[in-house]
């Protein structure tokens, strides 16, 4: 292990939680997500590695800038039932980045899960004299690798990314990303409910009219 940094926060339902790593011991600047439940004090751990983790039996494609492990809470914490909209903020030395005039900086992040490396949507956030800053969206926490090389799909804030629109990089299966930054859409049933009430009301009136006509005929 090259470096390690911890951050703790109290996590309650509805919070937009941000774990910031102010020591700048690793390439990770912060981790943030929306909490769906009460968890109390939660610890996030960043481990920056000298080499590939023993948890990842193969290397990702592209030039690896840093290998990392990111762990949030206890095992099983980072699930769609518990959190949403998880974002990792990180930095890369600008001298390590090759730029293309048409595509811009070619930096993104891989996450290792289900026995494979998956490319995460990534966007540039800014730069200073030494570093360029990025954000990646992730469905969970595990081993990661920051890659400099071919540019992955760009992360656009508040944009819903359909799984079929995520390109497959060479040798890398498409990353399964839930819609709307890990939140599923909730259908608005209020209009349906009003329509049902109107139909039921009409049927009641019709039955009363039929009953009155039958009575008059007798």
Task: Strands of 73-212 (E only): list them.
Answer: 83-93, 99-100, 104-105, 107-113, 116-120, 122-127, 131-137, 143-148
User: Which position has the higher pLDDT, 166 or 158?
Assistant: 158
pLDDT tops 70 at residue 2: yes
Percent of the chain with pLDDT over 70: 70
pLDDT tops 50 at residue 1: yes
Closest CA to 86 of 45, 139, 47, 36: 139
Which residues are registered as beta bridge partners of 30?
20, 89
pLDDT of residue 182: 36
Q: How confident is the model at residue 114 (pLDDT cuts 50, 70, 90)?
A: confident
Q: Do the Cβ atoms of 137 and 109 come closer than 8 Å? A: no
């Amino acid at each position: 292990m090259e470096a390690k940094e911890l951050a703790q926060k109290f996590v309650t339902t509805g919070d937009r939680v941000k774990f910031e790593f102010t020591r700048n011991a690793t390439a990770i600047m912060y981790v943030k997500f929306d909490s769906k439940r009460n968890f109390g004090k939660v610890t996030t751990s960043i481990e920056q590695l000298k080499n590939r983790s023993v948890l990842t039996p193969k290397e990702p494609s592209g030039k690896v800038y840093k290998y990392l492990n990111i762990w949030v809470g206890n095992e099983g914490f980072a699930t769609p039932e518990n959190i949403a909209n998880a974002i990792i903020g990180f930095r890369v030395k600008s001298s390590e980045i090759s730029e293309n005039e048409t595509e811009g900086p070619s930096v993104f992040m891989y996450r290792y899960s289900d026995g494979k490396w998956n490319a995460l949507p990534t966007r540039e956030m800014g730069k200073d004299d030494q570093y360029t800053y990025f954000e990646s969206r992730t469905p969970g926490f595990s081993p990661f690798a920051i890659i400099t090389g071919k540019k992955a799909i760009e992360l656009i804030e508040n944009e819903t990314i359909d799984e079929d629109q995520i390109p497959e990089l060479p040798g890398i299966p498409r990353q399964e990303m839930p819609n709307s930054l890990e939140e599923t859409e909730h259908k608005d049933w209020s209009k349906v409910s009003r329509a049902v009430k109107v139909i039921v009301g009409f049927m009641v009136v019709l039955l009363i009219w039929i009953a009155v006509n039958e009575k008059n005929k007798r």
